[in-house]
Structure 1
Amino acid sequence: MNRFKKMIKSRVFLLFLVLIAFIYLNNSSFFIKQPSREPLLLAHRGLAQTFTMEGITNETCTAERIYEPDHPYLENTIPSMEAAFQSGADIIEFDIKPTKDGQFAVFHDWTLDCRTNMEGVTKDYTMEELKKMDIGYGYTADNGKTYPFRGKGVGLMPSLEEVLTHFPEHSFLIHIKSNDSKEGEQLAQFLSQLPAKRLSQLTVYGGDEPIAALKENLPDIRVMSKSTMKSCLLPYIGLGWTGYVPSACEHTELHIPEKIAPWLWGWSNKFLNRMDKVDARVIVVGGNGSDFSSGFDQPEDIKRLPENYTGGIWTNRIDKIAPLYQNE
């Protein structure tokens, strides 16, 4: 009887070792071909003024805490996007807010009070009225002693239509800055007028409700929300060790915080390979997920990425990151 028990235990132990070996080998990069491509560079809000992230909250006026400017560009403007693409961006992220006359303004903040010389929200004004505002009014690097962009931002707030017209062949990540399903429906109506090729160059992310409404009206567009991320990643975390990729991952976008990424099965090469097969775009962002605006903004930040990383990189300083890959 004791001999039988020992035999059972040895077989269980052997099976356990085989399982561990399978999991290890199935999630390593030993048997996959390394892609020859460079990482996909995503410029957050174009080429923007950056600021300290210490103690930041949703109520923080980030224009009041910028670093001393070393370039002349303001976020979410056509000049800043031109500079970002010229620097080497593959994709640019920008934010949209609805206007009084049924358009979308390209603007980040919930209210106009922080950056501009006006108060209220974009929906209180027509696009023509928003054009008259100074979007550089509130920027300061010295606690209000000087305002280096005051008077220089008049007329720089573009509409969504202007951006897409100005850059007819470029790729964008469009951020719906709300959880209002009506904004998703409004955006779907606008984007539905575009040809299929142009839609394939656009991705939209935002709150669960507007993204669900957008996807319902435009099933083929690439989207991302907390809900789509969970639908993809939670089952993958549970079963991805087998090589299983949930159908919810197909043709979506995943923003993976760098501190969480190593816990994903097969990170990084095997994971990227699996997501490539289902047309899921992977963008790694800075930090632990507490603030998805954190990026890889200095050359030393890139050293935190896995060797030979080929996925997407979120950056607030495309001018400093793109040259690292252009010179290779």
Structure 2
Amino acid sequence: MKKIKRLFKRKSIWFLLVLFVFIYVNNSSLFAKRGEGAPLLLAHRGLAQTFSMEGIENDTCTAERINQPEYPYLENTIPSMEAAIKAGADLVEIDVQPTKDHNFVIFHDWTLDCRTNGQGVTRDYTTSELQALDIGYGYTADEGKTFPFRGKGIDLMPTLDEVLNYFPKTSFLIHIKSDDENEGIQMANYLEKLPANRLEQLTVYGGDQPIATLRERLPSLRTMSKATLKKDLIIYMAIGWTGYLPTNLKHGQLHIPEKVAPWLWGWPNRFLKRMDNADTRVIVVGGNGSGFSSGFDTPADIKRLPEDYSGGIWTNRIDKIAPLYNK
């Protein structure tokens, strides 16, 4: 009986040892070839005015707390997108809002009071009414003493159609800011009219309900929502050590908080290689995932990433980050 117990114990130890070696080898970046080339750079809202993230809430008017302007661009405008692309952006993130005449305009807030000389919500105005507003009206860097962009933002709020036509070869990350299922239906109706090669350049993320609608209507479209991100990460943390990836982890997008990333099996190189094989794009954002995400906006921020990191990077300062990678 004692011999049987000793034999069982010895086999258990060997099993655990073999399992440990397998997990280590299968998930170590030491045994994964580093990605070639520079990281994919995502320009958040184009090249735009920056602001302090300290104490920010859902209803904070960020236009009232911008830093001293270093350039003339306003977020989500064609000039800001063009500047970001020229600076070296591989992908540009834009925010969409629905209009009264069933269009989409590119604008961050669902209300107009913070940034513009208008009031109310975007969906109560037609496209022409919104484009007549001054979207630079509310920006101030000195608590309202001066407004450097007032009078300069008229006719700068583009439609989604105008953006996609102006940049026919650019990849965009489209952000649906609400959790309204009807916006998902409206977006699906719009995107279904685009050719397949253009659809491949687009990714849509946002509220759970509109993204669920898009995934059902356009299964080939790259999408992400808070629900899909959480589900995908939980599944990966549970079984990713085996190297197996379920179908729902394929052809998607993951926004990984930098504080969460080191806890993912195989981070960084093995993880990125697995996601590449699954055609899933990985974008690292600042923060721990519990609050508002920040960008990698300075050389010091980039130093927090693993050496030779080759995934995607979220930045508000493409003009500062792209030169670090000779873009």
Q: Is the 8 A contact 2:136 2:153 kept in 1?
A: yes
> Per-residue CA shift, 1:119-142, capped at 9, x if unaligned?
101111111111111111111111
Q: Is the 8 A contact 1:199 1:221 kept in 2?
A: yes
Q: Give the match's secondary structure for 2:94.
A: strand
Q: Is the 8 A contact 2:255 2:285 kept in 1?
A: yes
Moved more, 5-14 or 95-104: 5-14
TM-score normalized by structure 2? 0.97
Moved more, 283-292 or 296-305: 283-292
> Per-residue CA shift, 1:186-205, capped at 9, x if unaligned?
11111111110000000000
In structure 2, the partner of 1:5 is 5
Structure 1's unaligned 5+ residue stretches are none
Moved more, 33-42 or 46-55: 33-42
Give me the whole-angstrom Cα distance separating, in 2, the residues matched to 1:4 and 1:184: 63
Q: Give the match's secondary structure for 1:11.
A: helix
Across the aligned residues of Structure 1 and Structure 2, the Cα RMSD in angstroms comes to 1.2
Moved more, 169-178 or 6-15: 6-15
Amino acid in structure 2 at the alignment position of 1:162: E
Any residues of structure 2 matched to 1:113-128 within 5 Å, and which? 113-128=113-128
1:216 matched to 2:191? The reply is no
Give me the whole-angstrom Cα distance separating, in 2, the residues matched to 1:291 and 1:2: 56
Give me the whole-angstrom Cα distance separating, in 1, the residues matched to 2:275 and 2:217: 25
In structure 2, the partner of 1:90 is 90
Runs of 4+ in 1 over 4 A off after TM superposition: none
Give me the whole-angstrom Cα distance separating, in 2, the residues matched to 1:290 and 1:120: 30
**How much does 1:3 deviate?**
4.3
Amino acid in structure 2 at the alignment position of 1:260: V
Moved more, 98-107 or 285-294: 285-294
Any residues of structure 2 matched to 1:182-221 within 5 Å, and which? 182-221=182-221
Amino acid in structure 1 at the alignment position of 2:263: W
Any residues of structure 2 matched to 1:162-311 within 5 Å, and which? 162-311=162-311
Amino acid in structure 2 at the alignment position of 1:223: T
**How much does 1:292 deviate?**
4.7
**How much does 1:8 deviate?**
2.4
Q: Give the match's secondary structure for 1:304.
A: coil
In structure 2, the partner of 1:41 is 41
Give me the whole-angstrom Cα distance separating, in 1, the residues matched to 2:53 and 2:231: 29
Q: Give the match's secondary structure for 2:30.
A: coil
Structure 2's unaligned 5+ residue stretches are none
Q: Give the match's secondary structure for 1:30.
A: helix
Give me the whole-angstrom Cα distance separating, in 2, the residues matched to 1:132 and 1:308: 46
Amino acid in structure 1 at the alignment position of 2:149: F
Percent of aligned pairs with the same amino acid = 67
Q: Is the 8 A contact 1:255 1:283 kept in 2?
A: yes
Q: Is the 8 A contact 1:257 1:292 kept in 2?
A: no
Q: Is the 8 A contact 1:285 1:292 kept in 2?
A: no
Moved more, 194-203 or 212-221: 212-221
